[in-house]
Structure 1
Amino acid sequence: MQNKITVEKKMPYCSILSAVCAVSSLPLARFGAEWFAPKEDYTGYGGLGVAIAILVVSLVLGLTLGLIGTLRSEKPRALAVSITLIHASAIIILLLNKPG
């Protein structure tokens, strides 16, 4: 009986992981850039490429986890929807802001 209640409740595991992706993406990008090219500053091409790759992977993973949380109807529903909208808007903004 207890297992049935926990399955119906739909704990927000995917939404929490998506929020962790959003919060940890910038520190991970900074760490990856410094680890890959320690003698360059953060604007060096090698470190910058690693940082951009980490940010893109984090945004796509966060969007995917947010969509999974929304489709699973996790409670609270507002958390899953808001995290999904944050990641989707960040990806749209990055696609629209082309240099030049």
Structure 2
Amino acid sequence: MSNVTQVHNTTTEQLTETIFKGLDQRIEDLKRSFTPKEPDTYLTAKELENELKISSVTRWEWGKKNILQPRKIGNRTYYLRSEIKELLLNSNK
């Protein structure tokens, strides 16, 4: 069983214009709500300390308490910027 829609007293130009207006509105809504995903960047321990204005002791304690999740790559320690951003956003709640 198929659905049939009949349009009376409307020209093809009016119908086309109505459809395009609806599409334009949807596209504008998507543009407003769309936020491009940024590539995740890593911060070194020093960069993290400088951005958050914390000491190395605080950074180390936060790592031990699982407040921050350090990533070890070789013998270097990095922190994901997105996790730090999430931490700061959730700390205000």
TM-score by length of 2: 0.27
After TM superposition, the score normalised by the length of structure 1 is 0.25
Higher relative contact order (CA 8 A, sep 6+): 1
* Larger Rg, first or second structure (1 or 2): 2
Greater strand fraction, Structure 1 or Structure 2: 2
